[in-house]
């Protein structure tokens, strides 16, 4: 070989970033490059002609590797393409080297080996740390996964498998899109942030067995000892129970507020509505006593006063009966269970229940087709619309047949529907709209329009229980429009889980 080429070869040998070493059949080092010297911590002169196995391998490994080398020398063993072992450094530490070796023969006889080695100590130690970490997180209750820098899963813990289902092989070596088929979203944005060295926290809602599950997710960058990012750690904590507890508390608070409002209504009713018949009974009784004491009681006067006392007693009895009915219905509403309710079926059932009333009044009822299906308590929703439609028939104009139009609108953004019930009845002053939903509040003469006065109060209670709204627009002699807003899906069905 010309001197210039030899010099270049020596330069390449010495500047290679991997360890290069030549060892003869007697296990002695014949050549080693600067990288090898740097790893071992010796000068070249301290290494050349030294027995490799005796001087530079840990005691635990040297005999096994020496025997393998001797087998290569005598031809009883084949050299492997790649192998890994530790080397002993000057300071007593060990480095882990991944080797590639080539056997050189002369005249059919083994002469020496040329080996190249890469120091993989940091990578192995990082893998050991990851393994220890995996053993630890296998036992915790959070959902854990690890991805490499290509965003492919390298590990998922048992809780991950339990939560998302399927088997380990469905995730390992695959990206999120390959594993779940989901498009780019906030989860991918968090991965990008982690690969840039940032930690990201966010909340996510997943659907599991048809129910919403709330997860608090944190994405961390995984770094090796050199600070290089080598992966992404995800920790997801299920806080659905906390959300449900908060919703339960909100629902309980809302129910207490409703109960307090009921108590206020009942107290107001006791102070005003019940006092009227009680006062009349007292007045008429006092008048009778006065006549009896004066000896001026005649049959006609007695009959008149007794009739008035009887009417007042009947009025009180009616009020108390309505109060008991309203209280009983309130209790049943609070204990209700929700399910899927087809409003087409509900209105068909209501018309069937009101068939006689409709026939007698000659009412025409027009109902839009393709009413939505909502999540509600079917019997309560039926009572709600039956009360409203029954009122529309009752409060119709004399000598004018009732016409009732029922339509709906969907609000997809709010996931709700508005049912509108429009009639051509007597209507009322819009200023009184809030009062008609109070118990026992009448806007018309009880003789002309008999009833307990609790129908619309029950409607309001049902609406409150369904987290909806009920409003009315009206004008005297020009009919009314009741607008009932109901959620498509109930968010506060906490009582189903109790």
Q: What is the pLDDT of residue 331?
A: 58
Q: 299-334 and 240-271 helices cross at what angle (nearest 10)?
A: 170
**442 or 158: which carries more pLDDT confidence?**
158
Q: What is the pTM of this model?
A: 0.43
How many Cα neighbours within 13 Å face the side chain of 453? 20
- What are the DSSP E strand ranges found in 128-228? 143-148, 153-156, 200-208, 211-223
Q: What is the pLDDT of residue 205?
A: 75
Residue 496 has pLDDT above 50, yes or no: no
The model's confidence at residue 451, banded by pLDDT at 50, 70 and 90, is low
Q: How far apart are CA 303 and CA 309, in angstroms?
A: 10
**Per-residue pLDDT tens digits for 5-30:** 555 656 777 778 889 999 999 999 99
CB 160 within 8 Å of CB 145: yes
- Quote the mean pLDDT of the chain: 80
Average pLDDT over residues 59-65: 88
**352 or 498: which carries more pLDDT confidence?**
352
Q: What is the pLDDT of residue 366?
A: 93
**Per-residue pLDDT tens digits for 249-281:** 777 677 677 666 665 665 555 555 566 677 778
């Amino acid at each position: 070989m010309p001197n210039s080429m030899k010099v270049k070869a020596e330069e390449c040998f010495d500047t290679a970033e991997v360890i290069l070493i030549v060892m003869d059949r007697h296990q002695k080092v014949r050549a080693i490059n600067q990288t090898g010297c740097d790893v071992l911590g010796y000068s070249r002169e301290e290494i050349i002609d030294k027995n490799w196995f005796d001087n530079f391998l840990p005691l635990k490994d040297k005999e096994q590797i020496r025997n393998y080398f001797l087998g290569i020398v005598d031809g009883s063993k084949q050299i492997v393409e790649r192998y890994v072992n530790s080397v002993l450094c000057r300071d007593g530490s060990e480095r882990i080297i991944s080797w590639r070796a080539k056997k050189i023969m002369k005249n059919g006889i083994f002469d020496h080996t040329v080996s190249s080695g890469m120091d993989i100590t940091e990578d192995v130690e990082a893998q050991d740390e990851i393994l220890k970490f995996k053993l630890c997180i296998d036992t915790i209750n959070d959902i854990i996964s690890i991805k490499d820098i290509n965003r492919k899963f390298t590990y998922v813990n048992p809780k991950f498998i339990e939560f998302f289902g399927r088997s380990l092989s469905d995730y390992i070596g695959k990206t999120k899109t390959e594993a779940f088929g989901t498009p780019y979203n906030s989860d991918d944005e968090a991965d990008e942030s982690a690969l840039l060295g940032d930690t990201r926290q966010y909340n996510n809602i997943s659907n599991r067995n048809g129910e919403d599950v709330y997860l608090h997710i944190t994405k961390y960058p995984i770094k090796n000892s050199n600070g290089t990012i080598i992966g992404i750690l995800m920790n997801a904590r299920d806080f659905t129970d906390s959300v449900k507890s908060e919703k339960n508390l909100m629902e309980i608070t809302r129910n207490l507020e409703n109960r307090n409002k009921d108590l206020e209504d009942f107290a107001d009713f006791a102070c005003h509505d019940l006092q009227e018949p009680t006062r009349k009974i007292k007045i008429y009784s006092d008048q009778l006593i006065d006549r009896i004491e004066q000896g001026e009681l005649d049959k006609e006067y007695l009959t008149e006063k007794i009739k008035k006392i009887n009417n007042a007693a009947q009025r009180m009895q009616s009020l108390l009966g309505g109060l008991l009915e309203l209280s009983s219905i309130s209790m049943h509403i609070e204990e209700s269970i929700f399910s899927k309710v087809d409003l087409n079926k509900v209105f068909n059932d209501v018309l069937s229940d009101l068939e006689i009333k409709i026939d007698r009044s000659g009412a025409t009822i027009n109902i839009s087709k393709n009413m939505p299906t909502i999540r509600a308590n079917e019997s309560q929703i039926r009572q709600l619309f039956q009360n409203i439609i029954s009122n529309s028939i009752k409060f119709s104009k004399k000598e004018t047949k009732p016409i009732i139009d029922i339509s709906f609108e969907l609000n997809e953004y709010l996931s709700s529907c508005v049912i509108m019930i429009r009639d051509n009845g007597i209507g009322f002053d819009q200023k009184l709209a809030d009062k008609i939903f109070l118990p026992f509040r009448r806007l018309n003469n009880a003789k002309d329009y008999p009833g307990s006065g609790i129908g619309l109060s029950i409607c309001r209670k049902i609406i409150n229980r369904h987290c909806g709204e009920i409003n009315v627009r009206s004008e005297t002699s020009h009919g009314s429009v009741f607008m009932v807003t109901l959620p498509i899906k109930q968010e506060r069905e906490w009582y189903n889980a109790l």
